[in-house]
Amino acid sequence: MLKELKETRQVPGEPPRRWFCDDYFELIVWLEPGGGFQGFQLCYDPEKKPRALTWSVKYGARHSGIDDGENTFGGAKGSPVLTEDGLFDAPAIERRFAREAAGLPADIRDFVLEKIRAYQGPGERKKK
């Protein structure tokens, strides 16, 4: 079940954000100053194949893989980065997110579910 991290660091000059997580999902939501949503990033499946669905007012939606920055040659670990990964099982993610997000504020849960359902695949940049 997704729970909110109450001590989410706010970055000066960036929109306020809220952060929710459980063992499968991590959701960061950026809020408009007067209400509404500026964007979100829903990361999922961290143990098997970490991926993220990112949506913003400016760019629409994009699905990505997450490279954890692990250096296989013995050097220092780098920062995680998003990589191309257009395959998105929207029905499975929608079902699991709806179940795990039952305790979230309804406006956040419903908004993210709407964007999951609307995602069209690689190259989709609609601002639905």
- Which amino acid is located at 72 in the chain? T
d(CA 19, CA 93): 18
Q: Is 18 helix (H, G, I), strand (E, B) or coil?
A: strand
Instruction: Write b or e for each residue in 57-92: b if 16 or more Cβ atoms lie within 10 A of its Cβ, otherwise e.
Output: eeebbbbbebeeeeeeeeeeeeeeebeebeebebee
Does the pLDDT value for residue 97 go beyond 60?
yes
Q: How confident is the model at residue 34 (pLDDT cuts 50, 70, 90)?
A: confident
Q: How confident is the model at residue 127 (pLDDT cuts 50, 70, 90)?
A: very low
Token digits of residue 65 = 């893989």
pTM of the complete model: 0.82
Enclosing domain of residue 69: 3-7+14-118
128 found inside a domain: no
Q: Round to the nearest angstrom and report the end-to-end CA distance of the chain.
A: 27
Q: Quick one: pLDDT at residue 125?
A: 46
Question: How many domains would you assign to the chain?
Answer: 1
